[in-house]
Amino acid sequence: MNNTSTTGKLFDTTEKRLTEFFNMLGGLTSFSVRFIKEVFLPPYEVEQIRKHMIELGMKTLPIVGVTGFIIGLVMAMQLSPVLKRFGAEAFLPGSVGISIVRELGPVICALIFAGRVSSGIGAELGSMRVTEQIDAMEVSGVNPFRYLVVTRIFATTFILPILTVYVIFISLIGAYIAVVLVQNMTWAYYLDRVIFSVEFGDAIPGVAKTFVFGYIVGLVGAYKGYTAENGTEGVGKASTSAVVVSSLLILIFDMVLVKLTLWIWPTVK
């Protein structure tokens, strides 16, 4: 009897979770379609987009910079003894450079951006939703989706690639410091080895995929906030789940995009 009721409860919970998950997927898809429809329609909120890009970029710049620097430093420190074991120390700048440019820089930057920005957008729009500010905007004849959502998604899509280039550069500096500690190498020689090893075929897909990551961060944050309900509790949930969902989607899309890149561009070393 007890086992049956426990199984029943488990079934109910799983069913509820699955329903919520598919509802969210449906919601995100229709939100995405609405964004694509509305982004091309006037009035174009250029001033709002500019404001969000500066605000979100400045807000994230210090944390992604520090993280990028440490990642580069640690990466080089970890790789150095391994390469030494195989007598391949000369490849250190190249290996670090390729890892950072192709994968670590874009993904780490996107994950930190998601943690910082997606939750912020979720909380901001969520609080506007529960305090009826979005309704007030709608009643005054202004399209809140275009003013609040389209501008934010647009801003995150275009600011993340810029931040990624910055993170890659800072990571390479971090890695250089680690290299200098173990090998006697000048900055010019280090940079030459990195540039020699990293090709456009490494850099372009690495940075290009961050447009998709930026879109995901904006879309999930805005969706969670815009559809928040149940007062302040709902705002908290919107903010937390925005981070979880956007981080997960970034990793899933990274996997798909890496596979896609290798399929389209098999000559990439």
Task: Give the number of other Cβ atoms within 10 Å of residue 224's Cβ.
Answer: 32
230 near other proteins, rule: CB under 8 A = no
Residue 84: C-alpha distances to residues 90, 130, 195, 233 (Å): 9, 58, 21, 54
Nearer Cβ to other proteins (143/183): 143
The neighbour count for residue 172, using CB atoms within 10 Å, is 23
Closest distance to other proteins from the beta carbon of 10 (Å): 25
Work out how close the CB of 159 gets to other proteins at its nearest, in angstroms, rounded to a whole number. Answer: 19
| Out of 46, 142, 195, 256, the residue judged to bind other proteins by CB under 8 A | 142
Please say which residue, 102 or 152, places its beta carbon nearer to other proteins.
152
Binding-site size for other proteins (CB under 8 A) equals 14
Q: How far is the CB of 139 from other proteins (least distance, A)?
A: 4
Among 32, 48, 143, 197, binds other proteins (CB under 8 A): 143
Contact between residue 68 and residue 171 where contact means Cβ atoms under 8 Å apart: yes
Residue 138 in tokens: 């709608």
Q: What angle do CA 228, 229, 231 make, to 5 degrees?
A: 115
Is 133 or 240 the residue whose CB approaches other proteins more closely?
133
Smallest distance, other proteins to C-beta of residue 237, A: 20
Name residues contacting other proteins, limited to 102-141 (CB under 8 A). Answer: 127-128, 131-133, 135-141
CB of 231 to other proteins, least distance (A): 11
CA distances from 229 to 64, 94, 120 (A): 32, 50, 16
Shortest separation between residue 134's beta carbon and other proteins, angstroms: 9
- Does 192 bind other proteins (CB under 8 A)? Our answer is no
d(CA 169, CA 189): 16
Residue 87 as a binder of other proteins (CB under 8 A): the answer is: no
Cα dihedral sign, 67-70-73-78: negative
**In this complex, which beta carbon is closest to other proteins, that of residue 54 or of residue 82?**
54
Give me the helix-helix angle, 105-113 and 151-182, nearest 10°. Answer: 130
Which positions lie near other proteins, rule CB under 8 A? 127-128, 131-133, 135-143
